[in-house]
Structure 1
Amino acid sequence: MTAAKATSAEEPLLNLERPRPGVAVLTLNRPAARNALSVAMLDALHKAFAALGADTTVAAIVLAANGPVFSSGHDLKELTAHRADADKGLAFYSEAMTRCSAMMQAIVACPKPVIAAVQGTATAAGCQLVATCDLAIAADSAQFCTPGVNIGLFCSTPMVALSRNVGRKRAMEMLLTGDMLSAADAVEYGLINRAVPAAEVLPQAIALAETIAAKSPLTVAIGKRAFYAQAEMPLSEAYAYAAQVMVDNMMTRDAEEGIGAFLGKRPPEWKGR
């Protein structure tokens, strides 16, 4: 897979590059539309994450975007056009939100870590996309917001990812005011990992992906899955689950190899099993 297209006459919705062994860079490519998440874009992203998740040559994924905006969220022009449908858009809106939620969950379910490389503004479902990624590096000039309240459409689905990444009071402030959040504040809030000069966003995201790609792919997949699973559990249940995950992990070949390599003071040779 190198690109996903809406039609053969259009520019690809997504570009895929492999700048380092084990690293895939997936780039949103609707800059003229502010990288809005049209239904076609949602479907392309969902398919891309499924394909990359199953690709044994990929260990980490960077999600980037072309243009000055990372993503403005749902395609409001597309949504508004369906007001003319016989049901005033009800069926389309239901389908669009369902597909968006499925795509976001595909990122979480993907066994490979996904790192957002945020070069510009991320709003509404675009902010949700950043929050959903496992890690995020942003330009120090980037901004984030959930402005649905300003147009009478509360950012309810972005709220799911946002409230799982930042404190409740801060999430509610973003959701109720729709105000822009600076990159520096996004770091403090826990929405992104770090803010860097714009020219360093993609290189640093790729470097971080490369660092992760050097680890055991099996161990990383086990850890990512366990992280999200335990986060939804009560404390005692989370500890019981995590303890069993560690036992199962200990029985893998890569854990045996990794511990042996550490004790033997040699580099490990990962096999992914």
Structure 2
Amino acid sequence: MATTDDVLLHELDARGVLRLTLNDPRRRNPLSEAMLAALHTAILDAGENPAVRVVILGANGPAFSAGHDLREMTAEREAPDRGRAYFAKMMGICSTVMQAVVTCPKPVIAEVGGVAAAAGCQLVASCDMAIASEGALFNTPGVNIGLFCSTPMVAISRNVSSKHAMEMLLTGDLIPAARAEEMGLVNRVVAEADLRSATDQLAAQIATKSTYTLAVGKRAFYEQAEMTLGEAYTYASRVMVENMLAHDAEEGIGAFLEKRSPEWKDS
């Protein structure tokens, strides 16, 4: 089933894989106000829709996303406050979208076949996993135009080491896909012709798991990462006890012991 929302295409298949496609290729898929609104709604809906098991976030055209729509934002400099209120609004909206990706109970996989710049790179870093084509490029070029990529920094610094993040942020250099894989920004790099099939294969594999278990695990992963070691173990132990009492854990363990395929109820 495919639907369109102008700047964002939606396609949900029988496996429960939802493909969201940024669809403003002529302008290099900027994260405009309209694009961010569409993304936010789509991610929230995916989290609540029991038919969705995994989300793929891809893009049409030669760029994944060029980041914020600078023309749209610059136009607001004509306002009496020189755009302050609008800039604050847009940074808030963008931050909300990135957090929605992280807190969405369904795994989100970025499929990157072109340039992911600034907030576009931030979007990739916010996803749970990322597959890139050999020609994909990543950068945070704000420093080159006098605007440090402070919000992209939040997501990127949670994916790569401090020195790798600072190198990206301070130089604005384009990072080839192979280097992005070495740094931990993407999971793997494949030939351009294989990008869609590789992403679909990963999504299909994850879609066979219990959505209840995936949601529990995703939430726990991000929450424990902000805790001390002791706090993380205490928290994770509580999570595992509750998980053990869930139907799907009982079913999964029983199926393993009985050497049969589990029948999930996603609960």
Distance 2:13 2:138 in 1: 27
Residue 144 (structure 1) aligned with residue 145 (structure 2): no
Residue 245 (structure 1) aligned with residue 212 (structure 2): no
> What pairs up with 1:124-203 in 2 under 5 angstroms?
124-203=118-197
Residue 115 (structure 1) aligned with residue 109 (structure 2): yes
Match of 1:3 in 2: 4
The aligned amino acid for 2:91 is M
Match of 1:78 in 2: 72
Q: State whether residues 20 and 210 of structure 1, in contact with CA within 8 Å, keep that contact through their aligned partners in structure 2.
A: no
Distance 1:91 1:44 in 2: 21
Distance 1:140 1:241 in 2: 39
The aligned amino acid for 1:263 is L
| Aligned pair partner of 2:208 in 191, 209, 214 | 214
State the Cα distance separating 1:174 from its structure 2 match.
0.4
Q: Deviations over 1:169-188 (max 9, x none)?
A: 00001000000101000000
Match of 1:205 in 2: 199
> What pairs up with 1:5-44 in 2 under 5 angstroms?
12-44=6-38
Q: Deviations over 1:119-159 (max 9, x none)?
A: 10100000000000000000011000001000000000000
Query: Which secondary structure state, in structure 2, belongs to the residue aligned with residue 153 of structure 1?
Result: coil
Distance 1:2 1:109 in 2: 24
Distance 2:198 2:235 in 1: 34
Distance 2:16 2:81 in 1: 47
User: Which runs of 4 or more aligned residues in structure 1 lie more than 6 Å from their structure 2 counterparts after TM superposition?
Assistant: none
Q: TM-score, normalised by structure 2?
A: 0.98
Distance 2:237 2:60 in 1: 42
Distance 1:212 1:62 in 2: 11
Match of 1:265 in 2: 259
The aligned amino acid for 1:3 is T
The aligned amino acid for 1:150 is N
Distance 1:77 1:150 in 2: 17
Alpha-carbon RMSD across the aligned residues, in angstroms, is 0.8
Q: State whether residues 112 and 220 of structure 1, in contact with CA within 8 Å, keep that contact through their aligned partners in structure 2.
A: yes
Query: Which secondary structure state, in structure 2, belongs to the residue aligned with residue 2 of structure 1?
Result: strand
Query: Which secondary structure state, in structure 2, belongs to the residue aligned with residue 227 of structure 1?
Result: helix
State the Cα distance separating 1:20 from its structure 2 match.
4.4
State the Cα distance separating 1:3 from its structure 2 match.
2.4
Q: Deviations over 1:193-240 (max 9, x none)?
A: 001011111111111111001001100000000000000101100010
Identity over the aligned pairs, expressed in percent? 59
Query: Which secondary structure state, in structure 1, belongs to the residue aligned with residue 185 of structure 2?
Result: coil
Distance 2:230 2:4 in 1: 45
The aligned amino acid for 1:101 is S
State the Cα distance separating 1:19 from its structure 2 match.
3.7
**Structure 1: which 5+ residue stretches go unaligned?**
5-11
Q: State whether residues 70 and 118 of structure 1, in contact with CA within 8 Å, keep that contact through their aligned partners in structure 2.
A: yes
Query: Which secondary structure state, in structure 1, belongs to the residue aligned with residue 148 of structure 2?
Result: coil
Query: Which secondary structure state, in structure 1, belongs to the residue aligned with residue 7 of structure 2?
Result: strand
The aligned amino acid for 2:86 is F
**Structure 2: which 5+ residue stretches go unaligned?**
none
Match of 2:99 in 1: 105
